[in-house]
Amino acid sequence: MGLETYRRRRDFKKTPEPKGRVSRRARRRFVVQEHHASRLHFDFRLEMGGVLKSWAAPKGPTLDPRVKRLAVMTEDHPVEYLKFEGRIPEGRYGAGEQLIWDAGNYEMKNDADPLRQLKEGKLSFELHGDKLQGGFNLIRMKGRDGEWLLIKSDDEFAQPGWKLELRLKTGETRKRKKSVGGARHPVKKFRAKAKQESRAIAASRVFRAKDLSGDIDLKIGKEIVALTNLDKVYWPNDGYTKGDLIRYYYGIAKYILPYLKDRPLILNRYPNGIGQPSFHQHDVDEAPDYARTVTIAVEEGHTVDYLVCDNLATLLYVANLGAIECHPWNSRVSALDHPDWCVFDLDPGEGVEFAAICETALRLREALNRAGLKCCAKTSGSRGIHVYAPLKPVHDYEEVAGFAERIAKLIAERYPQIATVERSLKKRPSGRIYVDHLQNARGKSVVAPYSVRPRAGATVSTPLDWNEIKRGKIKPQDFTIENILRRIERKGDLFRLALKGRQSLPSAVADL
């Protein structure tokens, strides 16, 4: 019994699934996952021997004792999978959305040993879930490799004619993440309540609470945003949870939304927090009614449905997906091929002082000013600075990228001691700041102003005043989800120029 097969089939840099390990505690928990893989099925998992014994049931379980359901044994999963929900990226093993359909504890009939019954090919147990309750049996079919039957015992929990309800309707817009059955927390002693509408709570009330936990249906105007697993720890060293992330985005919405509005959004998702596998998502299959999507042709015959974050409900929906970072395009839906800002990412090499990055930002600003362009700057939230020169949306991506490249090269030529445009990390001279101009291509992006970063301290990409950069006393780590709002109260939004400046590129940069 181990997780070798499980691990061999997965690349944990590319899937949000937990790597997990064999548990030493003998607990009896179960989960049923609704897996929207290439073919929809249900994964039925029972905890025993420190792992989750797993079966894939094409039609899922049933409460109807007259119906036998096929369940094909699959590889053991780690117990961490009991809590797993997320989208397994395209091209990975089991690609598709994985949702928890039901979960809880189980007991063996007559307190039997589950591993022994497993070996004998006949398991009899009682489930205590929200949807699944009472006796169930898993019976191995003779001469059929790995094929079992899952059958409900005919007890007081049996419901002849019972119909399974999906949490996520196939091919339909997902409206509510939470199913009608209510909360899905383990250990319910009594029969699940009949259909009960869960009550949505006003956002203003929810975010006043100090600690957010569990699942909450949030009411925002007429919309309901389903927030889930709010107590999941996203920054283990700082103790910030997913709830803290969502609370931050709720508070900052007024300031960040103008920078996201009308722009295709790339989601950088960390469903299990920082330091855990993450993935970029361009294409969204489902979006709630309140979220706008736009279909964009990316290459011959291929289109991508991008989310566009125009309102508070969408912003919180996105945060609930674990998208710690917001990456908007450099152009708007109304003029997709014409970026309305040109962006430079000053990325320091090892051992570079932040003061040197400030110095480089000032040099870059001088060069842009000489080209007739005003610009504004923000911390990247990691180690560098981003400089934006706002543009009229009249130049195409190639033109803007070409201009950015010339400016970056000019800086590197003029200040070779501090700046470089060498892309390759290996070839880059040490101690230099990389003037990255390559994010000015179609479909590329840098993190939005006021976006959180998946870094220690929950830092925020923070607009700076040029005088702060001149003094060079600040550090990106100074600005976090804890203090940005107070800073804005004092200083206002220092990035407004990026939206208001409507400048044209100069015809030549030769004499800068």
Q: Which residues bind Mn ion (CB under 5 A)?
A: 35, 43
22 contacts: CB under 8 Å, gap ≥ 6? 1, 2, 3, 50, 51, 78
| Least spacing, CB of residue 10 vs Mn ion, in Å | 12
> 201-202 and 216-220: which strand pairing?
parallel
Sign of CA dihedral 59, 61, 64, 68: positive
| Least spacing, CB of residue 33 vs Mn ion, in Å | 7
Which residue, 43 or 325, is less far from Mn ion as judged by CB? 43
Beta strands in 49-191 (DSSP E): 51-57, 68-78, 86-88, 96-108, 122-129, 133-140, 147-152
Which residue, 71 or 315, is less far from Mn ion as judged by CB? 71
| Least spacing, CB of residue 94 vs Mn ion, in Å | 5
| Least spacing, CB of residue 56 vs Mn ion, in Å | 5
Which residue, 93 or 207, is less far from Mn ion as judged by CB? 93
| Least spacing, CB of residue 54 vs Mn ion, in Å | 8
| Least spacing, CB of residue 100 vs Mn ion, in Å | 12
DSSP 161: T
Round to whole Å and give the CA distance between 411 and 414.
5
C-alpha 45, offset from chain centre: 25
**Quick one: tokens of 198?**
């869960």
Round to whole Å and give the CA distance between 231 and 478.
25
| Least spacing, CB of residue 53 vs Mn ion, in Å | 14
Which residue, 43 or 102, is less far from Mn ion as judged by CB? 43
Report yes or no: 460 and 255 within 8 Å, Cβ to Cβ.
no
Report yes or no: 62 and 152 within 8 Å, Cβ to Cβ.
yes
Report yes or no: 234 and 278 within 8 Å, Cβ to Cβ.
no
Q: Which amino acid is at 106?
A: Y
Which residue, 35 or 437, is less far from Mn ion as judged by CB? 35
> 51-57 and 302-308: which strand pairing?
unpaired
Which residue is nearest to Mn ion, using beta carbons? 35
| Least spacing, CB of residue 12 vs Mn ion, in Å | 17
Q: What is the dihedral of CA 195, 196, 198, 199, to 10 degrees?
A: 150
**Quick one: tokens of 19?**
């790597």
| Least spacing, CB of residue 320 vs Mn ion, in Å | 23
Please give the C-alpha separations between residue 71 and each of 29, 32, 144, in angstroms, as whole numbers: 18, 12, 12
Report yes or no: 411 and 346 within 8 Å, Cβ to Cβ.
no
Which residue, 148 or 344, is less far from Mn ion as judged by CB? 148
Round to whole Å and give the CA distance between 391 and 505.
7
Which residue, 43 or 223, is less far from Mn ion as judged by CB? 43
Report yes or no: 208 and 201 within 8 Å, Cβ to Cβ.
no
Which residue, 131 or 383, is less far from Mn ion as judged by CB? 131
Which residue, 94 or 182, is less far from Mn ion as judged by CB? 94
| Least spacing, CB of residue 439 vs Mn ion, in Å | 37
Q: Which amino acid is at 207?
A: F
Which residue, 32 or 412, is less far from Mn ion as judged by CB? 32
